[in-house]
């Protein structure tokens, strides 16, 4: 049998219906400058962390165009030749404009989200000796996944099969210790 059985009722629900959506996957390059001692240059760089500080905010700038603004903080760890480390943190605001043909239509609201933001890698791009200081340019690569949606809160009539059944009981963990099940009897059976 293909498809669903006949519904038990037709219900009217209020939901946010998605009228249009798109995604943008991009790698942002964040540039740091570190002044190193020429006797103790940068040996390695580690991309430690990235987190959203503000946003994302999205606005319809004109019919069919949506601007997304996000500010995130990126932290890299600089490892010097003598083994010492120093963490550098920088806030970056990224503004991107996307084409969404239905943006700006009456009744449609634009929402945006960044479900994935990851510090991918960091590396030394260049070193330049200037006035006894080794100016080191460091690049951090930040992967950003942005989702834009055009929504409207609507009432939909849908077939239904009644209310969902009561969920099963959750299995409780009573102890973090492992179970103990010794063999019984504690002594091997004696043969006569």
pLDDT in tens, 17-56: 999 999 999 999 999 999 988 888 999 999 999 999 998 9
Q: Please give the structure tokens belonging to residue 76.
A: 């890299």
Mean of per-residue pLDDT scores for the chain? 88
User: Which residue range is the domain that position 146 belongs to?
Assistant: 9-160
Query: What pLDDT sits at residue 184?
Result: 64
Residue 139 in any domain: the answer is yes
Instruction: Give residue 188's pLDDT.
Output: 64
Q: Does residue 85 fall inside a structural domain?
A: yes
Strands (E), 63-186: 65-80, 85-99, 109-130, 133-160
Q: What is the mean pLDDT of residues 161-181?
A: 76
Tell whether 73 is covered by a domain: yes
**More confidently predicted of 115 and 1:** 115
- pLDDT recorded at residue 177: 73
Burial class (CB in 10 A: 0-12, 13-18, 19+), 191: exposed
Give a yes or no: residue 106 inside a domain. Answer: yes
102 domain residue, yes or no: yes
- Give pLDDT tens digits for 82-99: 989 999 999 999 999 999
pLDDT digits 0-9 by tens, 61-78: 988 899 999 999 999 999
Going by C-alpha positions, the residue among 109, 117, 119 that lies closest to residue 146 is 117
> Per the structure, how many domains does the chain have?
1
List the end-to-end C-alpha distance of the chain, in Å, as a whole number.
66
- Residue 189: its pLDDT value, please? 66
What's the alpha-carbon Rg for the chain, to the nearest Å?
29
Q: What angle do CA 117, 118, 120 make, to 5 degrees?
A: 150
3-state secondary structure of 106: coil
Question: pLDDT category, 180, cuts 50, 70, 90?
Answer: low
Identify whether 129 is part of a domain: yes
Residue 167 lies in a domain: no
Residue 177 lies in a domain: no
| pLDDT in the model for residue 88 | 94
- pLDDT (0 to 100) of residue 132: 85
185: preceding bond cis by omega (within 30 degrees): yes
Asked if residue 122 lies in contact with residue 27, where contact means CB atoms within 8 angstroms, the answer is: no
């Amino acid at each position: 049998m293909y498809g669903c059985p006949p519904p038990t009722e037709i219900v009217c629900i209020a939901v946010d219906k998605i009228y249009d959506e798109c995604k943008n996957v991009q790698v942002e390059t964040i540039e740091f400058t570190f002044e190193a001692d020429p006797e103790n240059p940068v040996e390695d760089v580690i991309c430690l962390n990235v987190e959203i500080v503000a946003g994302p905010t999205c606005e319809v700038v004109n019919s069919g165009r949506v601007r997304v603004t996000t500010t995130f903080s990126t932290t890299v760890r600089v490892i010097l030749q003598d083994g010492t480390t120093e963490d550098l943190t920088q806030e970056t605001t990224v503004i991107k404009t996307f084409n969404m043909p239905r943006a700006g239509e009456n009744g449609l609201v634009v929402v945006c989200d960044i479900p994935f933001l990851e510090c991918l890698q960091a590396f030394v791009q260049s070193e330049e000796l200037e006035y006894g200081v080794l100016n080191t340019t460091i690049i951090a690569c930040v992967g950003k996944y942005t989702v834009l949606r055009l929504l409207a809160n609507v009432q939909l009539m849908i077939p239904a099969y009644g209310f969902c059944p009561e969920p099963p009981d959750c299995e409780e963990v009573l102890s973090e210790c492992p179970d103990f099940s010794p063999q019984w009897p504690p002594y091997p059976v004696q043969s006569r």
